[in-house]
Amino acid sequence: MKAPEWRQNVLLVSDDPEIKLAVSPAFGEETHFISAQNTEQAIAQLDASPIHVIIIDAKTTNPNRQFYDQYYEEKDEMLFVELSQYASQLNHGLTIILLVNKLLSKQGDFARKCGAVLSMDRKNILINRMIYLIGVLRKRTFRTILSRDIPEGTVFSVDLYHYLSLSERYAIFLQAGVPFSAEKMEKIKVSNIRHLYVQESDLGACLSVLRDTSESLLYSESLASIRNQYRQLLIQIFDISTDGMLHFGKDIYEKGLEIAAQLEKLISRFPDPVTSLRELPYPRWSAIAHSLNCGIYAIIFSKHCHFEHSNEIAFAAMIHNIGFSEIDQDIIRKNETELSSEELEQYKKHVTISLELLRKKLLPFTPLIESIILHHHENFDGTGFPDGLAGENLPLECALVSIFGSFDYFNTVRPGEKPTSAFEAWQLLKKHHGDSTQLNKKFHPKLLVQLEEFFVKNFPEFRK
């Protein structure tokens, strides 16, 4: 049986054709893109069908100063905040993006209270950032369930799915009403099925069943909570209404470290670090999955290598690529070896862009976090960027992030590819190390030896 198809309904409220031209390319074939030129048309669309994302051009809904003077007497149009409220009441989990020329601090607070998830500069709509953010913010068809949470005999009222990467589709793994059997658990182990999935609308019901079968805190629920908190952190980083405000920068920094601490606590609840490495990372590639996976690897590997400040390393690892939001997204989807010289130069800019974005937030990051963000693409042989650091001039923490960033590339599956185990991913990474740079020394040899010890000691495949 095939998984249900799902399309995202996106409503743009703007009478500016240039805004439509700038925004619409961010949405692909899976999107039903609807336009409204004024508030009245927007309300009609909201009444007619469910909306998952609404993009409101504040200039369209708040045309001029005279409007404010007449508003409370005539009420012939709704303020953008009222449109946000109305849309939120009709659509649970709606993502609201506000396009503004300028938004003062108090207005930003008010917009957020009224449901606006993100405020963007309407005069400078970066299509690459819109594509990046829609990928981060969009409603998901499926949410993750870790098989570790499912006791034998558990019966769900909804279907559970697994992802078939070679055919690029989801298929039913456990039908609603059918008990979870020992045979199903064995199939999970043999087939390296790391996560199962439920439709997003069914996640709450599924977790409720699992809570009834276990007194302990669910791994799936903890991971879902961490993912949601990380998503909110990204929204804060990209929201222009919080630029240049010290308390927001401090808040982002503290939240980032708290998310890292929660990841560390979740990892500690597994029987051992190896089990968490086998079962916890998201198996399918996405921007959010890669960031959270890097946070997971940072906790596991930095502790094995006896690094201090593992939470700082994890926080840096989770935000080290946010500069991708201003790079052509077609370039981001390519392997570095496939890039032309011009594309490679654009790609390299993401490390400095990441720092620029964080500095706009007045983020009080430490020298360690700043160094990781700036130097995670440096290579031991000096062939990396942006500064060509080599040998002992390359900080070990930066070198570690470089290793597990590549490790995640091999440990996650893309459509059309065969999934790998953590052991297979490490083997692929070692091969990559030997032929990926001109001098064949991409990664720091000291860390490779330490991580090799981790895999040899904990993975019986090495001893066959």
Average pLDDT over residues 33-57: 91
Q: Are residues 201 and 123 in the same domain?
A: no
Note whether 266 and 395 are same-domain residues.
yes
Residues 6+ apart with CB under 8 A from 109: none
For residues 151-156, average pLDDT: 94
pLDDT tens track for 94-138: 888 888 876 655 556 656 666 667 788 887 777 888 888 887 776
3-state class (DSSP) for residue 302: helix
Mean pLDDT of 38-53: 91
pLDDT reported for residue 80: 73
| Count of CB atoms situated within 10 Å of the CB of 229 | 14
Query: Domain containing 86: what range?
Result: 8-137
Measured between alpha carbons, how far is 68 from 77 in angstroms, rounded to an integer? Answer: 10
The whole-angstrom separation of Cα 342 and Cα 312 is 33
Look up the CATH number of the domain holding residue 103. Answer: 3.40.50.2300
112 CA to centre of own chain: 21
The answer to whether residue 2 sits within a structural domain is no
Task: Kindly give the pairing relationship between strand 95-100 and strand 118-121.
Answer: parallel
Please indicate whether residue 402 or residue 216 has the higher confidence score (pLDDT). 402
Per-residue pLDDT, 341: 92
Residue labelled with tokens 């969009």: 138
Domain end residue (candidates: 215, 240, 274): 215
Average confidence score pLDDT of the chain: 86
Q: How confident is the model at residue 442 (pLDDT cuts 50, 70, 90)?
A: confident
CB atoms within 10 A of CB 329: 18
Average pLDDT of the residues in 144-160: 94
Tell me the pLDDT band of 216, cut-offs 50, 70 and 90: low
Residues 237 and 348 in one domain: yes
Which backbone phi and psi does 378 adopt, to 5 degrees? -75, 145
With a cut of 60, say whether residue 344 has pLDDT above it.
Answer: yes
What is the rounded CA–CA span in Å between residue 156 and residue 167?
Answer: 26
Alpha helices in 153-270 (DSSP H): 182-190, 203-213, 219-238, 246-268
User: Quick one: 133 and 146 in the same domain?
Assistant: no
Residue that the structure tokens 């937030």 belong to: 361
Highest mean pLDDT among 1-15, 78-92, 93-107, 199-213: 199-213
Residue 292 contacts residue 282 (beta carbons within 8 Å)? yes
Output the pLDDT for position 116: 66
Structure tokens at 325: 């939001």
Residue 413 lies in a domain: yes
- Domain of 453, CATH number, reads 1.10.3210.10
The one-letter amino acid code at 293 reads N
The dihedrals phi and psi of 413, each to the nearest 5 degrees, come to: -110, 140
Residue 420 has pLDDT above 70, yes or no: yes
- Looking at the structure, tell me whether residues 282 and 207 fall in a common domain: no
Residue 426 lies in a domain: yes
Residue 198 has pLDDT above 90, yes or no: yes
Q: Residue 281's closest CA among 298, 258, 305, 304?
A: 298
- Same domain for 287 and 411, yes or no, is yes
Residues 127, 20: Cα–Cα separation, whole Å: 11
> Does residue 1 fall inside a structural domain?
no
Q: Final residue of a domain: which of 137, 166, 190?
A: 137
Q: What are phi and psi of 351, to 5 degrees?
A: -70, -40
Q: Is the pLDDT reported for residue 169 higher than 60? A: yes
